[in-house]
A and B are shown apart, each in its own frame.
Chain A
């Protein structure tokens, strides 16, 4: 039966694209089209009588003057938006540092040491997701206000009350870390959970101590999970604009998301807002590509 393998081949050849179809459609509908629409607004600058942007759908009509201004104002130190970009980077960085230092031990404990309590711990980590993000942030207002529980608790130790909500970067960073921590823990947990127990046993059998086993076996094996967790957490964090609005509200703590909101919510300059969206997407995409390259390299190593 010489024709059977080739028939099978043909079927497989048709099967894979068919299987990829829903994903491709999804990508086009939810990524390509919206991104193109943002570009059409960012490169237009025309509005109608109702302050609505008139997108330039034809690339030949695109004008880049506003976008160029947005880029210059973002990346030259004296630019209007420079400060918010720097702040966004710094806040995201420190919030991620907090996520790693709290999230890694929690994920590690849950995956490796929790034993029978593991389900309970996972449920507790996920519990905040049952409550709306904004509601959780508003709860912090009650905790952190001048006569709130945090200051009361500090009072027991004789520490004078602190004005947490008076526009402090410290509060914003912690709020960001708190808000996105579950997103960090879950993918990391999944990756730690998948590490083959036998590798750790082998390491121990060869006389390597706990700390060194962690550094030389567990950590490298969880690297991809760690990077995934960082990416999943960093992307929404960089575009966040409501966390700092709720816990601070000061121009001193505004991030790039707040500037985007300002221009897109109302007024005649939605093209500036769209320009900032585009720029933010480009910056994040840069990191995303780096992540994709890393995952590809990792999977190549795995299959070698």
Chain B
């Protein structure tokens, strides 16, 4: 296991906000969406009509778990042919979140194929889109989540995959070989899957309530309570915890406002803070209770101060998979790739059980490979027994909530309310 807890760069891992959009009226382009009205709408608490008002929809179908999408393959953007020789020499350019792929995995791949692997990092999808669209720029691999994928296919930023290069595809959970956002895995394969829960110091938290989110509202931990610095995760959690709605992609301004009001309570109650560093802050004791992604407790065991064991860490997730928020990231090949054959080969490598495990051992985020079950990972010492609930299982993915692509006006509603929370008003 090569999770280097002293790597300062690791602490800089950024949030992975999935820009979400919702299916509103489809038809016109989003190019000219008037957003001036959005903040006004939320300020008036105008419920119901929010977001749906005359903003036009996306020029492509928006994927939903109950409305799966088969992404079109155009003649102008066809997959590479079968049986091509891999490219050699030069650099292999990856566009990815910083510190999201194990350096050893990249190094071995580079050595094997005589290329130098370079990573261009981004912090969010807006930045990724800006970088991938730079004229003359070429990237061989990119990591678009479900909420940004349709857009990238529509604008020809990624190319279709040729499955003949991907024999390891069968190692994936069957549902991920044919996911709702990309039927037939035409453009993507999954990279990681993670749930959203609460990480806590088990030695300081005496009892965990049935709804673990209540830990965040517990005055006993004041000053050491953290939310994820991600508007969807934080407001979405509040929507579920307060039973406001089961739709974590809601466009209802009143619902979003209610959820945000509940988060604002946390400011006076526990002086809540926001960041995405649960994996280091809970082990180090800066945080007692921290909303987190399920990869955080797994990574957290390598951040414990000397002399402490993983037993001091705890992870709470909703008991029922139906209440669990699940996110995922994908791998795709940009249209501009100079080494598309090699890109296919690296994707295939990452779907290899051994290499997938190496990568997981470094970044703590789980690939949905059938072999890497909770039992397998605990038996092999990757996850301590008391944190085994942080492994996402198939039922979670099938029944859980997920953030998906919503309209810019809905996004604006969420952002405006998030800004209200962040202003500490």
> Cβ of B33 < 8 Å from any Cβ of A?
yes
Residues in B with CB closer than 8 Å to A96 are none
Q: State whether A249 and B273 are in contact (beta carbons under 8 Å apart), knowing that A80-B419, A165-B286, A268-B411 are contacts in the complex.
A: yes
Nearest-CB distance from A222 to chain B (Å)?
38
Q: State whether A47 and B424 are in contact (beta carbons under 8 Å apart), knowing that A145-B286, A166-B224, A249-B273 are contacts in the complex.
A: no
CB pair B412–A268 under 8 Å, yes or no, is yes
Smallest CB gap from A250: residue in B: B273
Query: Among A49, A267, A268, A272, which residue has its beta carbon within 8 angstroms of that of B151?
Result: A49
Nearest-CB distance from B368 to chain A (Å)?
26
Query: Among A147, A254, A268, which residue has its beta carbon within 8 angstroms of that of B422?
Result: A254
CB pair A50–B424 under 8 Å, yes or no, is no
> Cβ of A184 < 8 Å from any Cβ of B?
no
CB pair B425–A82 under 8 Å, yes or no, is yes
The dominant DSSP class at the A interface is loop
Smallest CB gap from B264: residue in A: A251
> Cβ of B423 < 8 Å from any Cβ of A?
yes
> Cβ of A248 < 8 Å from any Cβ of B?
yes
CB pair B424–A84 under 8 Å, yes or no, is yes
| Listed stretches A10-18, A62-70, A283-291; interface member | A62-70
| Listed stretches A110-118, A124-132, A257-265, A293-301; interface member | A257-265
Inter-chain CA distance A84–B130, complex, in Å, is: 30
Q: State whether A267 and B31 are in contact (beta carbons under 8 Å apart), knowing that A50-B130, A248-B273 are contacts in the complex.
A: no
Q: Mark B218-249, 1 if CB is under 8 A from A, else 0.
A: 00001110100000000000000000000000
CB pair B36–A45 under 8 Å, yes or no, is yes
| Listed stretches B80-88, B121-129, B380-388; interface member | B121-129
CB pair B31–A251 under 8 Å, yes or no, is no
Range of interface residues on chain B? 35 or more
Residues in A with CB closer than 8 Å to B224 are 166
Range of interface residues on chain A? 35 or more
Smallest CB gap from B32: residue in A: A46
Nearest-CB distance from B365 to chain A (Å)?
21
> Cβ of B267 < 8 Å from any Cβ of A?
yes
> Cβ of A48 < 8 Å from any Cβ of B?
yes
Residues in B with CB closer than 8 Å to A50 are 126, 129-130, 133, 151, 155
Q: Sorted from nearest, which 6 A-B pairs have the closest CB atoms?
A: A166-B223, A251-B424, A268-B408, A249-B273, A266-B126, A266-B124
Spell out A's residues near B (CB within 8 Å).
45-52, 54, 63, 65-66, 69, 73, 80-84, 87, 145-147, 163, 165-167, 248-254, 258-259, 262-263, 265-269, 271-272
Additional pairs, 7, CB under 8 Å, beyond known A47-B31, A268-B409, A271-B35: A45-B36, A80-B419, A250-B272, A251-B272, A251-B422, A266-B124, A268-B35
